[in-house]
Amino acid sequence: MLASATISTYYLNTLPKSPAPEEMRLTPRNIHGTVVYQTPDENRRLNLRSIPPWGSSCWGLGRVWSIGRNGAQCGLSRPTENIG
């Protein structure tokens, strides 16, 4: 995720804010409310770097949800009565 943020910041600071057909920079990307134009290769590179952090986050959330629902099967116990 850090690599993706670093590349996004670099793109925001260096890429043109309007299309540049002579450089093949026609693909828009909104970065923090500012639209910059990049090449298809730059777009693909940033998209590929963005996928792994989301995948691992979803896996972790699914794991927490699974343990929460099946805590007893994982060796975790749940209170069976309301204390208090």
**Domain locations in the chain as residue ranges:** 2-69
Q: Mind listing the pLDDT tens digit of every residue in the chain (84 residues)?
A: 577 678 788 889 999 999 999 999 999 999 889 999 999 999 998 888 766 555 556 666 666 666 665 555 555 555 556 665
Whether the CB-CB separation of 36 and 28 falls below 8 Å is answered with yes
Whether the pTM exceeds 0.85: the reply is: no
Q: What are the DSSP calls for 33-78, one per residue?
A: TEEEEE-HHHHHHHHHHHHHHHHHHHHHHHHHHHHHHSTTTTT---
Backbone region of residue 7 per phi and psi (left: phi > 0; alpha: psi in -120 to 50; beta: other values): alpha
